[in-house]
Each structure stands twice: as structure tokens, then as C-alpha cells.
Amino acid sequence: MSSRRRFLQYGSWTAASLAVGAGCHGGETPIQRGETQAQQRPDNQPDYKSTGVELRTSTPKQDGFYFPAEWQPHAATIMAFPPAQNWQGYGLSNARQEWADTANTISEFEPVMMAIDPADTKIAQQLLSRKIELLEYPLNDGWSRDSGPMILVNGQGDRRVAGFTFNGWGEKLPPYADDAMLKAHLAKQLDLTMYPIPLVMEGGGVILDGEGTVITTEQCLLHPNRNPGISKVQVEQYFADYLGATKTIWLGQGLTPDPITDGHVDGIAAYAAPGVVLLHTTDDPSDPNYAICRDAQQRLSGAKDAKGRKLKIITMPLGEKALHMGFYIANGCVVVPIANDPAEDDAPLAILRETFGDRQVIGVSGVTLAQGGGSVHCITQQVPHQAKAAR
């Protein structure tokens, strides 16, 4: 079975402890550091205005903005250095080293902005390249794909932030109020205005082609711990209004077991180009992911994207110690989490090198990331270049 979720057996982490928010926060409670959900407004959105960010009441669709594809040119990559809260006793040093290795690798190809909890500035300076810009903000964890800003463009050189609501992956890992505010802090830092969005969603819950198509999972977006009672039609309207996606392709589930993200799509699939999707598969019928991956393949095979294209599906073997699908496309390179085991890494890396022939494919250790339930993609978020071009 895939062990992207091997953290279930890592230390004393269990689904039960996550459900009650206990036993995985280094002893910290939700009322420490002044982070209760009282910071939220009655509509359950954080008090973004306290950061000084300018909020918009219109929608990106009304204003001509959309979320571009990851392979479009970047101005920078946003990351967040992992604080101790959810990692103390569960591989904190190893996690920080993998975060740093990822950041240092990306910084050779494009600028990296690293959010850092003030308590961790010294260790971050020791591990990170001097090329990396360090930004001090209070943090709960380091998964910037999920808590960071999703930055939109309009083809006229302008950028704005889609501010989806973050609730700690269904309120599993409290406190999370600092992470819920991160997108607003960074929008202010980048001098970008932000659309506050009541839909609870993490960046890893969607993949997009930048041409009007989004792929997601029913398991995550329809989960009652995020958006109770919401319908597919309502979710699709949010995607249209706030991401510029006119076509939603629904997969059933993400990989299992997954007590944290509830089936993030970026663990099982990734866009490689318009009309081209990479998909994890396994040949082991005894693996619960066998049925999940087959169902995903059937759904993708029967789908057409927003441009009316049938999708080309490139399958990639599901690993045991690292989640190779969780790669990140940066300027001129693809950074891939690896297991440091040729028997597990060689086949996925070969597929990615063939798929991304115009980019350098670089492996970085992703074992601790996988034990924590994630990948390189989960700890990175792109800042698109201010290009003037129509999609």
C-alpha cells in the first residue's frame, strides 16, 4: 500500500488523535498564542482586514481574473518554514531539512519567499540559502499550498489573490488561526488586493490547466468538515466565479489512508500541460488505492476539458515511501519528492523527464514530507509572472 500516509503508524499519530486535535501539537492547546476561533467573523472567515490587506467585494470573474497554470512563468515561489507545533516529536528536524532542501533547489531557478514564525528565524537562516527572502509571520504549520494565497492574473499584467477559507483541514489540527491569516499577510506583502471567499478549500484540493478546467475530488470538496451541505453545482459556481474554471472534472477519492486532507487531488493526479494529466496507478489489487486509481482513470478517460479536448492520461506508479505525483513545476525545472531508493524512484523520474522534456527534473528527499501526509507540491505555491497575454 502507498505510504504517502505512512504517518498513520509514525510515532503515535492516529486518526482518532487527529480527530480530537490532541497528541500531535507538542502539548500546545488552541488557546495558546492567542489563537482562538474568536478571531473569525460571524460568517466564519478570519478578520483579514486586521492585516491591512485591501478586500474586494466583486468576484474575479466579474473583474476578468483567473488562476493560471503552474507551468506558466513565475515571479517567485511562496513557502512557509515548518514551526514546531504539529511536528515536535514527529521528525521536526528532518522536516525542516526537507523544506530547506526544496527551497534551496527552487531558489536556483526562481526567487523564493519563505514565511517564518519569528521563533524559528535563527534555525531557518542556518538551513536556507541567502538567496531566499525571509518574511516573519506567526505560523501553525508549513503547508503553503493549502494556507497560502492562490494568485490570479488577468492577462493585462495585474494580479489579485483568491482568498479561500482555511479551517485546518476540517479543524483536525488546531490551533490554525495563524495559518488562516497567512494568505492575507502575503497579499499585503505583495501589495495585492484579495477576494475573501467563504468556500472552505485548500490549494491542494484542486488542479487547474489555466484554460478553464479544474479537477477535484468529491471526497474533499463535499466533505462535511469543510462545506457541510454544499452541492456540486454550488462548488462549480465558486470555481467559475473565483478561479475562472468553466469545467469541473470530479474524481471520487484521493489516495488512502488520508485522515488529514480527505483526498486532496494533488496526491493522485497532476496537470502536465493543457489536456495532459498524470495519474497515479497501482497493479496491486489488494491495495485499496487500486480501485480508487481505476475509478479516477475511468472518470478522466470519459471526460472532456473546457476546450472540448479528450484528456491524454499518463500513468505513474504509486510509490511506497514518497509521493512522486507531488512535484512542483518551477521556472525551468520540476522538483520531485523522492524516496532516495532507485527501485522506487527511477520509474517515476523517467516518466517525468519524458513528460517535461524542456525542464530539468530534480529529485529532493520527500520521505518525511510523505510521513507528514504531503509532498513538495504541498509546501509550495507559485506567484505568477505579471505577463500581459490572453489565455
How do the domains of the chain map onto residue ranges? 6-321+378-384
CATH number of 6-321+378-384: 3.75.10.10
Would you state the pLDDT for residue 391? 60
DSSP 3-state of 227: coil
β partners of residue 382: 77
Cell reading at 265: 487531488
Would you state the pLDDT for residue 40? 46
Would you state the pLDDT for residue 21? 34
Would you state the pLDDT for residue 155? 84
Total Cβ atoms within 10 A of residue 271:
24
Would you state the pLDDT for residue 13? 39
Let me know if 378 is a catalytic residue: yes
**Looking up cell 472518470, which residue turns up?**
299
Would you state the pLDDT for residue 187? 98
pTM of the model: 0.92
SS (HEC) of 317-335: ECCCCCCCCCCEEECCEEE
Cell reading at 50: 486586521
DSSP 3-state of 53: coil
Q: Tell me 22's DSSP state.
A: -
Annotated catalytic residue, options 220, 293, 333, 378:
378
Surface-to-core class of residue 276, CB atoms within 10 Å of its CB (0-12 exposed, 13-18 middle, 19+ buried): middle
Would you state the pLDDT for residue 45? 86
The rounded distance, in Å, linking the Cα atoms of 375 and 255 is 13
Cell reading at 28: 500546545
Cell reading at 370: 510523505
The pLDDT averaged over each successive group of 10 residues in the chain (391 residues) is 39 37 30 36 79 98 98 98 95 97 98 98 98 98 98 95 98 96 98 98 98 98 96 98 98 95 98 98 97 98 98 97 98 98 98 98 97 96 83 60
